[in-house]
Amino acid sequence: MSIDQFFKLIHEDDDILVLDKAHGVLVIEDRYDQNIPCLRSVLKNIYRRIFIVHRLDSGTGGLMVFAKNEQAHKKLSIQFESGKVEKEYYALVEGRFDSPVTCMLPISKVNYHGKYKINFKSGRDSITTFYPLEYYKNSTLLKVVPYTGRTHQIRVHLKALKHPLVNDFLYNKKTDDKRLTLQSCKLSFFHPTKNIKLSYCNDTSDYIKSFIF
């Protein structure tokens, strides 16, 4: 695979990289098969040092930030952990999603196979707001704003609201296609050394719209 099949470079300086990750690309090595290409291994072949700050599911595409040194890694990680990073996504979901909804259902892990569920007894607090943008015959394009960062949060909340992602092999119909109709479209944070707020947007939702049915 060529580099442009893994990512597009959005911004680079001495401290950070901002990339647009392709759908279907692992961020880190697969735990069972180390031979599957991943974004970290590709970046390590280009840059002397690279640090993972946050992750996207392999099936999710869109904006990510990486650190190029330990100081940047620490300061960016603190922003993510404290909820100071602003994130927005596009999601193509099944059915007509009639009005904005804020979902506050708690989430926990189901098992060791990577699936999560709503769990009122031991689930962790999770908050996501969904805004309908465009309607199609059998689906809706949403803007999604997650206020917490639980694993599979958007996917699990959408399933609970009975509007799962159009393409989601875990929380909708089983399929061999591991790409998701979910895209990180906005990322805002403070630069780790310059202390200025940066905001990156990818307003193109054409990729996930290709799944409209």
Residue among 143, 132, 141 at smallest CA distance from 186: 143
Contact call for residues 113 and 69 (beta carbons, < 8 A): no
- Rounded Cα distance between 20 and 201, Å, is 10
Which residue out of 15, 20, 57, 168 is catalytically annotated?
Answer: 57
- Say if CB 192 and CB 78 are below 8 A apart: no
What is the C-alpha to C-alpha distance for residues 84 and 114, in angstroms, rounded to an integer? 26
Distance of CA 200 to the CA centre of its chain: 14
Residue position matching structure tokens 């596009």: 90
Whether 57 is a known active-site residue: answer yes
Q: Determine the Cα–Cα distance for residues 169 and 73; give it in Å rounded to an integer.
A: 32
As annotated, the active-site residues are 57
